[in-house]
């Protein structure tokens, strides 16, 4: 009897320690994920001048991570679909941030030639570089106005023009903006007609945008073919799921089927990277 009591005590202590260890580890992992998520979202969204409660965004993401896979599993009863939905919800914030950042940078690049022409016109009429930027900011809307307005505010609080321009380049991270910043710094250090330089940059950037548009139009067919070919295996699997569920079922329920799906995903990824390399042309 004493031996049984000792065994029960040992089992109870072991289970208690295991539960405490798992709970503590889960709490630490949750806290680390929250810190990484909120800091990343805050830094990237603030660069895009988007401000809201990032904790609400985090808990919304956590709620979707728990809700969407549960709904998928209850409705389909398929573990593979559940895992895919979980990974999709987990990656969705990163994809959305990347999409918003790319869209904002493209809008800045397309509006930059007009902004440079406007700044150059103001400088030719006798305005200084800073006052010309202020006039452009007042008459322009969108991301480029926000970025240059912040440039002016940084100079007003005592940041040097060089540091303010470098901060502008760090925020936007664009080759076009780097050209503008380099031209402005060179003109400030060694002299030169900055208005004429900006006019030439404006013309050059317009031609670059036109060339990129032509390349995009010429390569759009190849990109579409890549999407069609890439989605074809998944379309066939989806069709067979409804037409022949018994025949396609082992792919989602057996280890051999999971290996088959892993090979498909790997080959799809390799093919997508290769097609992207072929159709991506830098101007």
Q: How many CB atoms lie within 10 A of CB 121?
A: 16
Give yes or no for residue 113 having a pLDDT over 70: yes
Helices (H), the chain: 2-47, 54-76, 79-124, 129-139, 143-156, 161-172, 175-190, 194-243, 245-253, 255-279
For residue 48, give the DSSP letter.
Answer: T
Q: Which of 79-83, 159-163, 191-195 ranks highest by mean pLDDT?
A: 159-163
The confidence score (pLDDT) of residue 167 equals 86
- Residue 213 to residue 139: CA distance in whole angstroms: 27
Give 119-175 as a DSSP string.
HHHHHHTT--HHHHHHHHHHH--SHHHHHHHHHHHHHHTT--HHHHHHHHHHHH--H
Give yes or no for residue 127 having a pLDDT over 70: yes
The pTM score is 0.72
- Residue 84 to residue 94: CA distance in whole angstroms: 16
Q: Which is more confident, 13 or 83?
A: 83
Query: By C-alpha distance, which of 132, 104, 266, 268 is closest to 195?
Result: 132
Give yes or no for residue 109 having a pLDDT over 70: yes
- Residue 102 to residue 108: CA distance in whole angstroms: 10
List pLDDT tens digits, range 5-38.
Answer: 555 545 544 555 455 444 555 566 656 666 776 7
Mean pLDDT rounded to a whole number for the chain: 78
Q: Which of 75-89, 148-162, 242-256 ranks highest by mean pLDDT?
A: 148-162
Query: By C-alpha distance, which of 275, 187, 179, 277 is closest to 231?
Result: 275
- Residue 204 to residue 143: CA distance in whole angstroms: 21
Give yes or no for residue 218 having a pLDDT over 70: yes
97 exposure class (CB count in 10 Å sphere: 0-12, 13-18, 19+):
middle
List pLDDT tens digits, range 138-174.
Answer: 888 888 888 888 888 888 888 888 888 888 888 888 8
Q: What is the mean pLDDT of residues 271-277?
A: 77
């Amino acid at each position: 009897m004493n031996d049984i009591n000792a065994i029960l005590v040992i089992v109870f202590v072991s289970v208690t320690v295991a539960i405490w260890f798992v709970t503590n580890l889960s709490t630490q992992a949750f806290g680390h994920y929250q810190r990484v998520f909120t800091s990343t979202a805050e830094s990237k969204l603030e660069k895009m001048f988007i401000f809201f409660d990032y904790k609400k965004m985090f808990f919304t993401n956590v709620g979707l991570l728990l809700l969407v896979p549960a709904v998928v599993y209850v409705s389909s009863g398929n573990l593979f679909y559940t895992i895919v939905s979980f990974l999709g919800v987990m990656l969705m914030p990163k994809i959305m941030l990347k999409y918003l950042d790319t869209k904002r940078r493209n809008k800045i690049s397309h509006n930059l030639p007009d902004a440079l022409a406007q700044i150059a016109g103001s400088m030719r009429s006798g305005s200084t570089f800073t006052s010309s930027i202020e006039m452009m900011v007042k008459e322009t809307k969108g991301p480029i106005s926000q970025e240059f307005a912040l440039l002016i505010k940084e100079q007003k609080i005592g940041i040097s023009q060089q540091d303010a321009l470098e901060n502008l380049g760090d925020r936007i991270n664009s080759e076009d903006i780097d050209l503008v910043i380099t031209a402005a710094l060179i003109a400030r250090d060694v002299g030169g007609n900055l208005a004429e330089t900006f006019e030439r940059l404006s013309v050059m950037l317009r031609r670059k945008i036109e060339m990129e548009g032509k390349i995009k139009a010429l390569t759009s067919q190849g990109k579409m073919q890549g999407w069609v070919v890439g989605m074809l295996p998944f379309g066939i699997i989806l069709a067979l799921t409804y037409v022949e569920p018994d025949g396609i079922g082992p792919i989602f329920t057996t280890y051999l089927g999971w290996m088959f799906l892993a090979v498909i995903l790997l080959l799809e990824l390799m093919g997508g990277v290769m097609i992207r390399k072929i159709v991506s042309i830098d101007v």
